[in-house]
Structure 1
Amino acid sequence: MITLRPSQERGHAEHGWLKSHHSFSFAEYYDPQHMGFGPLRVINDDWIAPAMGFGTHPHQNMEIITYVLEGAIAHKDSMGNGSTIRPGNVQYMSAGTGVRHSEFNPANNEHTRLLQIWIQPDQLGGEPLYGEKEFSREEKQGRLRLVVSGDGADGSIKIRQNARLQIGLFDAEQKQEVALAKDRLTYVHVARGELQVNGMALKEGDAVMMSAEEKLVLEQGKQAEVLVFDLPH
């Protein structure tokens, strides 16, 4: 079964310095039909104004992944980590028993656009963790690159959940087919551009939820950047 999640049906928040689209219920946006998909709980498409951001705030029992599409984000946390994340970098923070952090756009003249992703862990508690890794465009061009997994396979960042996140860049004749396990869930989010997913034409911000499907086919991209989540039920 394949279910389309059109971009225009996502939740939207406008705070002046922050514009955000919510794929699932978040903050003031509540939709009982879209509370998450398996352990995938949040995909927020955030646009942050120059020199603005999120002040220090707490998290607990959540796997948090940040993927920058444009600009940069400066991160500081209570574990002592401080870094600037740029396009191509994947940042991971396991909140565990509790962590506090801040995120700001360090630029004075350009916005930051990022995807903030929350995945529920397979166990509560545990010491907070932090990870960061760069994945080049070449690794993602015309194919899916594993960037996050439950076992750290293929140089990916290891998280506390039996879930996998792959990211790919597809244009023109580039195509990939992936066999899917029928006991798993697949969530495909088109971050930028246009892409055909199993014959369905998707544009920026669109997504599809898949279950009991035999394969995933990505093709006919137009400068597409796509995130593919492999998830337990």
Structure 2
Amino acid sequence: MIRFRDRGARGRHAGGMIDSFHTFSFGDYVDPRQMGFRSLRVLNEDRLVPSAGFPAHDHRDMEILTYVLEGELEHRDSLGNVARIRAGDVQLMTAGTGITHSEMNAGTESRAHFLQIWIIPDRLGLPSAYRQQSFPPRAQRNRWIAIAAPDGGDGVLALHQDACVFLARLDEGRRLRRDIAAGRGLWLQVVRGLVALDGTEMREGDGAAVEAQPAVEIIADTEVELLLLDLA
């Protein structure tokens, strides 16, 4: 069973400095029918003009992934971390017992474009932590690569949840299959391009929840970039 989430149905916060699309309820956008999928709670697509961003604010008891698509962000947090997150980089914060952080567009001429993904952790009160890893586009070519998983290791960020996060970049005409283990569900997000998911067209910004079937097949109608979450 596939449930599609059209890009045009997402919530939106648009201002002169920040333009954000919300796949699930977030901030002032509240839809009781769109409160997340399994442990995936937030999936936002954000764009910031130069020097704009999110000033210091607090989080707790959440795993927060940020994947930069264009430009770069400057990260600062209450743990003392100061970092630049560039296109192709993924940041993972364990908010745990509490963390204060800011994310600002570090560029002076170009906008920053990124995805923000919140995953509910498997337990509360974890020690707060910060990790960052780069995932070169060439490594994603026509295959899934893991960027976050429960055990981490070998360049994969360690996630406190029975969830795995993957990226892939497909050439036009390529096919990619993903098996689904019994009892698990997939969330597919089209980051760029045009694909067919089991025969249904999806474009940049579209998402889909997949459950109760053994596999899905993706066909790239253009060059595409995909985000996939495999969730218990």
TM-score strictly above 0.5: yes
> Which residue is 1:58 aligned to?
58
**Structure 1 segments of 4 or more deviating over 3 A?**
none
Q: Does 1:97 find its partner at 2:73?
A: no
- Measured after TM superposition, the shift of residue 96 of structure 1 is 0.4
The superposition leaves residues 116-168 of structure 1 with CA deviations (integer Å, 9 ceiling, x where unpaired) of 11000000002101111111111101111110111115531001111000000
- Give the letter for the 2:127 counterpart: E
> Which residue is 1:231 aligned to?
231
> Which residue is 1:6 aligned to?
6
- Give the SS at the match of 1:34: coil
- Following the alignment from structure 1 to structure 2, what is the Cα–Cα distance between the partners of residues 143 and 180? 16
- Following the alignment from structure 2 to structure 1, what is the Cα–Cα distance between the partners of residues 221 and 81? 37
CA gap of 1:142–1:220, structure 2 versus 1, over 3 A, is same
Q: Does 1:219 find its partner at 2:219?
A: yes
Structure 1: 5+ residue runs without aligned partners? none
- Say whether the 8 Å CA contact 1:190–1:227 is kept in structure 2: yes
- Measured after TM superposition, the shift of residue 213 of structure 1 is 1.4
- Following the alignment from structure 2 to structure 1, what is the Cα–Cα distance between the partners of residues 79 and 173? 45
CA gap of 1:132–1:221, structure 2 versus 1, over 3 A, is farther
> Which residue is 1:133 aligned to?
133
> Which residue is 2:178 aligned to?
178
> Which residue is 2:20 aligned to?
20
CA RMSD of aligned residues (A): 1.0
Query: TM-score when scaled to structure 1?
Result: 0.97
- Following the alignment from structure 1 to structure 2, what is the Cα–Cα distance between the partners of residues 147 and 50? 27
Query: TM-score when scaled to structure 2?
Result: 0.97
- Say whether the 8 Å CA contact 2:48–2:105 is kept in structure 1: yes
Number of residue pairs the alignment of both structures matches? 232
- Following the alignment from structure 1 to structure 2, what is the Cα–Cα distance between the partners of residues 119 and 211? 18
Pairwise mapping of residues 63-74 of structure 1 onto structure 2 (< 5 A)?
63-74=63-74
- Say whether the 8 Å CA contact 1:65–1:116 is kept in structure 2: yes
- Give the SS at the match of 1:138: helix
The percent of aligned pairs where both chains have the same amino acid is 38
- Say whether the 8 Å CA contact 1:170–1:221 is kept in structure 2: no
- Measured after TM superposition, the shift of residue 173 of structure 1 is 2.5
- Give the letter for the 1:145 counterpart: I
- Following the alignment from structure 1 to structure 2, what is the Cα–Cα distance between the partners of residues 218 and 79? 41
Structure 2: 5+ residue runs without aligned partners? none
- Following the alignment from structure 2 to structure 1, what is the Cα–Cα distance between the partners of residues 179 and 115? 26
- Following the alignment from structure 1 to structure 2, what is the Cα–Cα distance between the partners of residues 174 and 200? 16
- Following the alignment from structure 1 to structure 2, what is the Cα–Cα distance between the partners of residues 123 and 139? 32
> Which residue is 2:161 aligned to?
161
Pairwise mapping of residues 184-203 of structure 1 onto structure 2 (< 5 A)?
184-203=184-203
- Measured after TM superposition, the shift of residue 216 of structure 1 is 2.0
- Give the SS at the match of 1:31: coil
- Measured after TM superposition, the shift of residue 179 of structure 1 is 1.2
- Give the SS at the match of 1:114: strand
> Which residue is 1:124 aligned to?
124
The superposition leaves residues 15-66 of structure 1 with CA deviations (integer Å, 9 ceiling, x where unpaired) of 2200000000000101111000001000110010111111110000000000
- Say whether the 8 Å CA contact 1:181–1:212 is kept in structure 2: no
